[in-house]
Structure 1
């Protein structure tokens, strides 16, 4: 018997230059073709270049620039790494950044106070709370406390609710927005495609499923209680995975010529590396490139584009606040 899944918790529509797709040195066993490696770093650089031009135009036109407020609770190493990447990206495009750090043992009210001040600050156009939070804090309530008009992560119930209703939210969540951007740039037809989303988290799996449905795809969401995931996944034209289980999706799970968007990223021990580990996605990369037509690598695939979508949402918020067109 095939086991159940292990437990696990739109706007840039341009055709990419060819350098965004790299040919793998491995040929697909099924058809002799090469697998296209979707270069998220190059796509992110292109997006950031356009955002920088737009922000420079705003600065020259009205003397203003977008501002992003970041709330960081505790000293989780992965959270601090993500914050550094976001701050560096803000600096590259000209977005002002404001980091508010709180200790691990801070209270719910202390977080509310910091978020409230950022909500009211006219120089801040986007507010994000770096997740996950310490267990004693109510994550849902804190995310909901962020002003929907500054919710550039797109996780406020108002924005998710509008997405679920098929309406345009104020902000599309960054990871799902990156997923759509990668598919569009790769030239993949989304409408009428059969898509499997592995994972149903509030941050990525759920909003990705909703967003793909809004693009008229036929979407199946697999999770911890899903039976026969291999059989279901093997029927998909597009697979989007974000479960955080290294190499869970094997080559025989995949339909020949499918497109894979791998959003998983976990550290795996690797004594051959100087740092002692490597970052691995949900999909077994070495097996997948023998089968599929295109895949995002880990790292260097979805991650850089997700950060670019955060910058894009922040710029859109500032343009809305300044009535700048």
Structure 2
């Protein structure tokens, strides 16, 4: 199973030394990252300002008072952690075509992003979603901070199976119901839904002040439209709808065009919203995806 490669020491060794950059950090957990100004808090002195009634006397600069007879408050640069959540689509479409192993690719990429994020001692968790008769089903792990804890994700990752339909907007709405600090959210999916659904899902995350990154996963075979010519009875793996189609070289070309149009529309929407968009097309391109697409996500050496 491709997903187990995420826990291969040789694979992880290639990720050592990489960190996940961020445009702006917003969370308030105690940690290492220096992200903003909180008066009278933190450990790195930043500036001084005049004392005002109600200020905490513990942060008075007594040396300045002794020399200048002036009440001055010392301010500090706060150190905070980023909350990083990686949400992975495990709906039935992620398992089709079976030979493409889109879910395996999504899990490897999600775990790799988690491992990189943990290198900065950030709070990292994984989540997975699919739809069902009772509505969207969202599974999440707890937060982990250090790379020593990375293998705690293994049971979660290796236990996920493709099932149900894709309800991006509903899954994101459920995710946002829980109390959380705005941070980084990485959404990994094939995005094979009505465009209004993924647009609404991504817009909800952005409106909640998260820094959003979308990884678009597709398989080698479905991108190439590489199906033998002939007549087929096709069943939608999520809705159960049956359709009879005749496949030829012409239909293969149409498939390739549709995949490209789908990707361009999603990428264009993300660009307008300030959302990072990254293509992950094909398990065979895993190493190239990491070297080429991860820098788009803010991964730096």
TM-score (structure 1 length as normaliser): 0.25
Rg bigger for which structure?
Answer: 2
Kindly indicate whether structure 1 or structure 2 has the higher relative contact order, using CA contacts under 8 Å at least 6 residues apart.
1
